[in-house]
Structures are given as C-alpha cells and as structure tokens.
Amino acid sequence: GAVVSQHPSWVICKSGTSVKIECRSLDFQATTMFWYRQFPKQSLMLMATSNEGSKATYEQGVEKDKFLINHASLTLSTLTVTSAHPEDSSFYICSARDGREFPSEQYFGPGTRLTVT
Amino acid sequence: SQKIEQNSEALNIQEGKTATLTCNYTNYSPAYLQWYRQDPGRGPVFLLLIRENEKEKRKERLKVTFDTTLKQSLFHITASQPADSATYLCALSNSNSGYALNFGKGTSLLVTP
C-alpha cells in the first residue's frame, strides 16, 4: 500500500515557540491531505483539510492563525503550531489521498507526538 | 450533530473465536464507511472500505457489514489471534466534507491465547 511519512515522530518544545511537522506521501500524489489531532483515549479529530495549491479549510474551533498549514506540492504538507502552549500537547496525525481516484483510501502517517513544556 | 458510537468497553476474547465490533451512527449519511486498526502511538492503518450501496465486504479473516437502515456497521474478525489485539476505529465520510473521515472513539480488542 501507499506510504505516508511524518517528521519528526516526536518533539518537545518550550511554551511560546513554534513547531513544524512535515507530512509526505512517498509513492503517490496526494491531491488532498488531512490533519488530525488525537488526545489520549480519544478519537481522531479532524483539524483541517488541504488541497494542493489551495488554502486549507479548517474545522470549527481550530484557529487557522495558530495552526498554519501549507500544501505546496503533491507530496508535501506542513503543519506549523505557532506560539505553542501546553494544551497543544497532543498526537498529530496526517493522512493523504489521491483525489483523482474514486473512491480512494486515506493513508495515514505514523503520527507526531508533540509535548509543550 | 453527527455522532459515531463504537463499543464503549474493551472487548476481550479468546484466540480462535470471532470478534464482533459495532459502529452505530446518527445524523449522518455516509457515502463510505471504513475500518482502521490503530496500535498504541501509531497512526491508523486502513483495513476495509464499504460503500453505502454495499451490504457486506470481506478480506481474508475480516468481514464488514453495512446496514444504512439501522445506521450500523459490524466488523468481524474470524479465527482471532493475539496479533489482532489493537484498537479498531470506524470512520465515515461523504462528499459534503470532501471525504474527510469522521472517526468513532474506537474499540480496544484484546485476544488472549
């Protein structure tokens, strides 16, 4: 199956700093990428949807100025958590699909564990 | 609002038995229903996709049923093995959300030898 990678796999940062997480589709072109957040024992919650070359669409309650998403190419999307706070500590997971196929599966990355101290 | 509910409690079964997990939903008209497996600290892994006009799908030891009248999907693992122990997530999607997945909380399955 298709492979999606994320980098870094875990990161610890100080409160007030920014952190960038990369999501790459390694062997297919991802016309759409999704960013999810998962707190312990909770479901994956969709944060935003990004289509290559377009601005991301954010879910209600997700601050677009705090969670900056860039999807500049068909294989790379980045999520930048700006001015991170301890409550932003979570497991961030991206997924990707090739929207030109229908229906198409979503392939998930391995996740990034963010801890803000 | 949309609601996706899965077995709230962990499911413990003996190796070799069939595990059956339930996914119920309300206030949603999914075009697709998918099941994923998630291991601790890892991203979900796709298992099966079933469309709204399909009743049943099989893949090796896995079987999914989809009843749009009952708004329910059942996920079966036959001849279960300890390696099947994981959290299983039900996810729904349709074109309204650009096929973004709406996940249930998941059901933790433990298969004991």
Cα separation, A63 vs A48, whole angstroms: 10
| Interchain pair A44, B44: CB under 8 A | yes
- Tell which residue, A88, A81, A91, A86, has the closest CA to residue A40: A91
Residues of B in contact with A97 (CB under 8 A): 99
Residue B8, pLDDT > 80, answer no
Q: Name the residue range of residue B29's domain.
A: 3-112
pLDDT in tens, B75-93: 999 999 999 999 999 999 8
Residue A6, pLDDT > 70, answer yes
Residues of A in contact with B45 (CB under 8 A): 108
Residues of A in contact with B59 (CB under 8 A): none
pLDDT at A2: 80
Supply the CATH number for residue B39's domain. 2.60.40.10
Give me the number of domains chain B comprises: 1
Residue B32 DSSP code: E
| B30 in contact with chain A, both atoms CB, cutoff 8 A | no
Cα separation, A98 vs A27, whole angstroms: 11
pLDDT at A106: 84
Residue A83 DSSP code: S
Residue B40 DSSP code: T
